[in-house]
Structure 1
Amino acid sequence: MTFVLGLTGSIGMGKSATADLFRRLGVPVHDADATVHKLYHGRAAPLIEKAFPGTVAGGAVDRAKLGAMVLGNQERMKQLEAIVHPLVREEEESFLQRVSALSSIAVLDIPLLFETAGETRCDAVLAVTAPASVQRDRVMARPGMTDEKFRAILAKQMPDADKRARAHFLVDTSRGFASAEAQVRSILACLAGRPGWRHRF
């Protein structure tokens, strides 16, 4: 039975780079953000257009138009999540079924894992972390990022300290690529040596 490791981390913590490390080491990874992108260009588009007219063009969701319609509106955001989240879960389940015979470990890369109770679908959780100063420098270097946007994003995410307290494993990405890879290898070795691991949640 495939061991499901949830991967999460706040913006700028290095989660995507850590997910790539798992892929390089042969571990299949399901990327929730990439799945949403695919759905916005596929089967979610007509459902979103029906709920939010004018947000789809050329068969794909216009994220800017959708964002203008739902951001800051809790009711509309919940309406959008009610459309998208079940579709993401279906894709996730399909992924796990495909890899079950191929790998003893699979990673679910979910940015808002704890915020959406995603830990209940995992056997263990890895939180990617870095000092707040490093996080801020990384995020503010992104094109179009402002202090206001950064604060708004952080407000939607569980504090890093809480994620670290709830996770089974941590990867500190502030010490360079080689260190992060060594930490990932150590986690995989730990999981490989503990076949009796069970849900903590």
Structure 2
Amino acid sequence: MSLVIGLTGGIASGKSTVSDLFRQYNIPVVDADVVAREVVEPGEPALAEIVRSFGEDILLPDGTLDRPKLGSIIFRDEKKREQLNNIVHPVVRERMTAERDRLKKTYPAVVLDIPLLFEGKQLQLVDKVVVVHVDSSVQLERLMQRNELTEQAALDRINSQMSLEQKASKADTVIDNNGTREETREQLEQLLTSWEIIDK
């Protein structure tokens, strides 16, 4: 029986580090962000729906989605964010479910990396939830550096999601990612051992 692990956290909490570590233990990761990019490629029905809802000027000259422009609209407007999520989330969920079911036939565990696991009410897709947690000051600093954002722009993005504390309170397990990569890896190894996915 394959265990389906939902991996989530806040923006800039270091979720991709933990995803990479899962892969090092030969556990496949289905990344919602990657799938979400695929479903809005030119020619995909979801992109056509986004254009109908947000207008042609949301596209770049080559017909691809202008992500920064769309991001600046939705991070400050909850109604528009909800509108976008209602277009993209069902398609992403359908593709992720198909990929999960395919991988479950081969691997003892499969990770679904879903940033909005709680907000998108997608808990039914997974058996266990792992939240990657960092202190809020670390999260803010990492996001400002990574995305070259002002403090206010970074805070807008952080505040558009459920807080890390709320997510941590709903998790089966929390991985503390304030320390080094090796410390994070040790926590993950202990977790995978306790869930009998790997041997010590």
The answer, yes or no, to whether TM exceeds 0.5 is: yes
Q: What corresponds to 1:142 in structure 2?
A: 146
What letter matches 1:56 in structure 2?
L
RMSD over aligned Cα, in angstroms? 1.9
Which whole-Å CA distance do the structure 1 matches of 2:140 and 2:174 have between them? Answer: 19
Deviations 1:23-62 (A, max 9, x none): 1111111111111111221412222223322123434212
Residue 56 in 1 paired to residue 67 in 2?
no
**Structure 1 position 67 matched with structure 2 position 71:** yes
Q: Distance in 2 between matches of 1:6 and 1:67?
A: 25
1:180 equivalenced with 2:184 (yes/no): yes
Contact 1:45–1:56 (CA under 8 A) maintained in structure 2: no
Q: What code does the residue aligned with 1:18 have?
A: V
**What residue identity is the alignment partner of 1:50?**
R
User: Structure 1 unaligned runs (5+)?
Assistant: 194-201
Name the SS of the counterpart of 1:11 in structure 2.
Answer: coil
Shift of 1:111: 0.9
Distance 1:161 1:95, change over 3 A: same
Q: Give the whole-Å Cα distance in 2 for the aligned partners of 1:128 and 1:82.
A: 25
Counterpart code for 1:126: V
Following superposition of structure 1 onto structure 2, how do residues 99-178 of structure 1 map, counting pairs within 5 Å?
99-178=103-182
The corresponding residue for 1:38 is 38
Aligned residue pairs: how many?
193
| 1:116-138 Cα deviation digits (max 9, x unpaired) | 22223211100111223322332
Deviations 1:138-173 (A, max 9, x none): 222224211101211221222222222111111111
Moved more, 177-186 or 153-162: 153-162
* CA distance, structure 2, for counterparts of residue 68 and residue 9 of structure 1: 21
Contact 2:140–2:151 (CA<8 Å) still a contact in 1? no
Structure 2 portions without partners, runs of 5+: none
Tell me the TM-score normalised to structure 2 length. Answer: 0.87
In the other structure, the counterpart of 1:15 is: 15
